[in-house]
Amino acid sequence: MIAEIVQERYENRYATLREIGEKFGVTRQYVHKVLKQNEVPTLRLKKDRFSICLICDDRIMDSMAKVHQGKCHGEYYYKIVRCDNCFAKWHMKRSVLISKIKRKDRHGYCSRSCYIKHRFYN
């Protein structure tokens, strides 16, 4: 059983001593003692902290952000929409667009005057 515990540590470097102990039905203190006697490192390796950008699918190292700063940030948080009256393009915040969809508001206008023209004079 001692050789199996040592083998498990080498095969699964990210496992905690508690996880190894649960696999063999022993305590983490016993696993620590066995590893120390066989001169095997007891500390587990830490997993890299990163996330995947939702726009370009690249890694974002040392961060749990959704997207990269710069171009990816602009693409994710600002969407291009068209005015229903004059068909002009502009950027709308993603959160505003989501709230419009939730309240079933189908129209978007670039200004108050376009809203009035389209709603009351068409």
Task: Give this prediction's pTM.
Answer: 0.53
How far is it, in rounded angstroms, from Cα 54 to Cα 61?
A: 14
**pLDDT tens-digit readout, 41-92:** 888 888 777 889 999 999 888 778 899 988 899 999 999 999 989 999 989 9
How far is it, in rounded angstroms, from Cα 47 to Cα 54?
A: 21
DSSP state of 45: P
Domains in the chain: boundaries: 2-37, 74-120
Band (pLDDT 50/70/90 cuts) for residue 1 is confident
Tell me which residue of 42, 49, 46 sits closest to 10, measured CA to CA. Answer: 42
Token pair 């587990």: residue: 44
How far is it, in rounded angstroms, from Cα 15 to Cα 7?
A: 12
